[in-house]
């Protein structure tokens, strides 16, 4: 049975796969920078009431699997994670300021993560009147 979270007025599962890159796709997410980035993401996610279910840092991009409330906009969450980590990493690692005008690109990828395929869900909705 699939587990859902609940609030007083709804049951939900709001999971997102998120990817973003450093400016110019520079391979700067290595060593102590990568370690600190994971720490900062954990700190900010907790503050935002977002659970990081999985994360992987590649030298030139970030992958996160996030679980959040349905009342929170994923774009706002991503913006806050990127802003917080950029500010702190650039303050702690001056070489990032020398190599990049900003740490992150303005863009990102986000996709919802569900328990069934789109076709299964469409079929389920189509068959509601037949029950």
At a CB cut-off of 8 Å and minimum separation 6, what does 43 contact?
Answer: 84
Active site residue 24: no
Rg (Cα) of the chain, in Å, rounded?
Answer: 18
* Dihedral sign computed on CA atoms, order 111, 112, 116, 120: negative
Return d(Cα 52, Cα 67) in angstroms, integer: 6
Look at the chain and count its residues: 131
**What whole-number distance in Å separates Cα of residue 13 and Cα of residue 96?**
36
Catalytic residues: 124
């Amino acid at each position: 049975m699939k587990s859902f979270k609940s609030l007083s007025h709804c049951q939900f599962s709001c999971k997102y796969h998120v990817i973003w890159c450093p400016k110019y796709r520079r391979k700067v997410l290595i060593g102590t920078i990568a370690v600190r980035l994971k720490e900062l993401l954990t700190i900010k996610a907790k503050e935002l009431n977002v659970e990081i279910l999985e994360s992987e840092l590649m030298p030139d991009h970030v992958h996160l699997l996030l679980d959040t409330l349905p009342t929170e906009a994923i774009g706002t969450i991503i913006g806050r994670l990127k802003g917080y980590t950029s500010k702190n990493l650039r303050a702690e690692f001056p070489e990032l300021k020398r190599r990049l005008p900003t740490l992150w690109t303005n863009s990102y990828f986000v996709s919802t993560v569900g328990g069934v395929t789109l076709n299964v869900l469409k079929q389920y909705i189509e068959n509601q009147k037949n029950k």
